[in-house]
Structure 1
């Protein structure tokens, strides 16, 4: 089954995200101040232990969790103040390759085989490289987690001359998404992950839309999912 976010729903979603974002922005400052203090005291306390001590592992875990909280705050803030794309001429093939290089470590950790097929004729595109790289990383990370140990993720990027678009697909052989849930995956705060915020796909969808493109998803229960990013050449 295939699904893409309807154009007529974008305005409603934008208003919904703005309201949530305003609430989040008000909370972010109050949350970040104590987090900064906690990190500072943890760093001070960490120096009291031998670098090889078992406690250093506990400190590493605590710092990772603090980073995770900060990342969640950043996602909420991006809802209230979506940044406009900083467009620049970018070699698209190089951008995708760099994103997948960053995703490779996560694939290794999850024992997932990450395969890439990048067409040699991928053109230069006028886009925000940071934002689009974020989208590719997010979709690839989701696919890796869906595939699970022993699974496989295939990222393909090619130029579709008939439609004047560059198409990038991220395909996994995970459990797939039930049809009744496909319409929900782009909604803010909808997630099936234990530690997910439900904002990754929402933000990715908005970023691609701001570039004049779209994201589509095809999924079949028991076989896996395929997310496709369509970006215009001009």
Structure 2
């Protein structure tokens, strides 16, 4: 705007000089007329110079700081980094490289994978496997529980020094959901068939036991009574066992509502202490800030009580027995930890303990941990057994993510 005003002033000066020079000269003021003429010529020269400078700027071509080739590379890298799926490529020398941000984060490298995971190399080198849908289990370089990835590979024919293009799709959540659904279907069928046969057996054993108790005692009365009582007790125990698995198979979808995590854990602590009294010490560790999560309060409380009761049973022979219930914030999501100072879990059994029908406790039915994991999966989370924490005294650590 100031440049336009300056040009207008100069043009006005030129016009004024043109109108005043002749009258002033005719009146004999020659010096003044010359000054006015010089001023007008100066304004004209200034306007011409400004016009030429603007024309030169309009025609001047600014040199590009980034060459077209480099610009294309930067654009391609930005697009790759935007992809949430880890992308890699293998060079002709056999080395594997991270191609985008997701891959660099997963493997903790800026380019070349110094020590590629054996599972990844094995899947790449086994040409018998299909190029799509190969399932491998990988752990992030930062640690944590390994997750299941679907590996997709395409041959690059050596173009640009690349022989394979690789993509890793995290299918852990879908894999767990499919496994949970298959388990529920199996349990539903088994519990239905067993209950159909077991229910009349329980009813008849109770009736026989009660009728025999009313008969006059004879020589074999005590033996028969004991046999009937045993049959009744075992039939009722088996009935409770099957009903537990039927409830697991019928676990409803969670009703997600906002709940305050601290209040939920304090209420769970009260239920735990009502059962265990002062025999087991339960430490409660809450985050410094108020945390609200969307969850099914009843289901999450049931999962936590299953974990806490297992922890209490595992550590009651220790001196002193200790159980901890803690909450943490992990990358914006809530995590609940249940720790105990018991004997720990054999590393070879880390995954088996979550399988239904599997229990390493006396009179255990293998429902508690399996149900807790099903509840976690139903909330879109996970339940994992972590390695013992050295120097803390905690031998067993369960991490529940919501």
Do both proteins adopt the same fold according to a TM-score greater than 0.5, normalized to the shorter chain?
A: yes
1:14 aligns with 2:168: no
Is the CA contact 1:4–1:217 (under 8 Å) kept in the aligned structure 2? no
Once residues 73 and 195 of structure 1 are traced to their aligned partners in structure 2, the CA distance between those partners, rounded to angstroms, is 14
2:356 alignment partner, SS class: coil
Once residues 195 and 19 of structure 1 are traced to their aligned partners in structure 2, the CA distance between those partners, rounded to angstroms, is 23
Give the TM-score normalised by the residue count of structure 2: 0.45
Residue 129 to residue 35, structure 1, CA distance change in 2 (3 Å)? farther
Match of 1:159 among 329, 344, 362: 329
Tell me which residue corresponds to 1:187: 355
Is the CA contact 1:177–1:220 (under 8 Å) kept in the aligned structure 2? no
2:361 alignment partner, SS class: coil
Once the 2 structures are TM-superposed, how far is the Cα of residue 223 of structure 1 from its aligned partner? 5.4
1:114 alignment partner, SS class: strand
Is the CA contact 2:284–2:325 (under 8 Å) kept in the aligned structure 1? yes
2:329 alignment partner, SS class: strand
CA displacement 1:77-106 (0-9 Å, x = unmatched): 134323111222222211111112111133
Once residues 67 and 116 of structure 1 are traced to their aligned partners in structure 2, the CA distance between those partners, rounded to angstroms, is 37
Once the 2 structures are TM-superposed, how far is the Cα of residue 143 of structure 1 from its aligned partner? 0.7
1:84 aligns with 2:253: yes
Residue 20 to residue 90, structure 1, CA distance change in 2 (3 Å)? same
Counterparts of 1:117-132 in structure 2, within 5 Å, are: 117-132=285-300
Tell me which residue corresponds to 2:262: 93
CA RMSD of superposed structures (Å): 3.3
Aligned length: 207
Once residues 202 and 269 of structure 2 are traced to their aligned partners in structure 1, the CA distance between those partners, rounded to angstroms, is 31
1:21 alignment partner, SS class: helix
Match of 1:134 among 286, 290, 302: 302
Tell me which residue corresponds to 1:108: 277
Once residues 328 and 297 of structure 2 are traced to their aligned partners in structure 1, the CA distance between those partners, rounded to angstroms, is 17
Once the 2 structures are TM-superposed, how far is the Cα of residue 26 of structure 1 from its aligned partner? 3.4
Once the 2 structures are TM-superposed, how far is the Cα of residue 27 of structure 1 from its aligned partner? 3.0
The higher radius of gyration belongs to: 2
CA displacement 1:32-54 (0-9 Å, x = unmatched): 5776895xx99xxxxxxxxxxxx
Once residues 164 and 36 of structure 1 are traced to their aligned partners in structure 2, the CA distance between those partners, rounded to angstroms, is 53
The gaps in structure 2 that reach 5 residues or longer are 1-142, 149-171, 211-233
Match of 2:387 among 216, 219, 230: 219
1:15 alignment partner, SS class: helix
Residue 33 to residue 134, structure 1, CA distance change in 2 (3 Å)? farther
Give the TM-score normalised by the residue count of structure 1: 0.74
Tell me which residue corresponds to 1:173: 341
Is the CA contact 2:262–2:290 (under 8 Å) kept in the aligned structure 1? yes
Q: Which moved more, 1:214-223 or 1:99-108?
A: 214-223
1:14 alignment partner, SS class: helix
Once residues 181 and 310 of structure 2 are traced to their aligned partners in structure 1, the CA distance between those partners, rounded to angstroms, is 23
CA displacement 1:138-168 (0-9 Å, x = unmatched): 11111111111431001111333xx111111
Once residues 201 and 218 of structure 1 are traced to their aligned partners in structure 2, the CA distance between those partners, rounded to angstroms, is 14
Q: Which moved more, 1:133-142 or 1:219-228?
A: 219-228
Is the CA contact 1:2–1:219 (under 8 Å) kept in the aligned structure 2? no
Residue 72 to residue 229, structure 1, CA distance change in 2 (3 Å)? same
Q: Which moved more, 1:213-222 or 1:100-109?
A: 213-222
Is the CA contact 1:115–1:155 (under 8 Å) kept in the aligned structure 2? yes
Once residues 289 and 236 of structure 2 are traced to their aligned partners in structure 1, the CA distance between those partners, rounded to angstroms, is 38
Structure of higher RCO (CA pairs closer than 8 Å, 6+ residues apart): 1
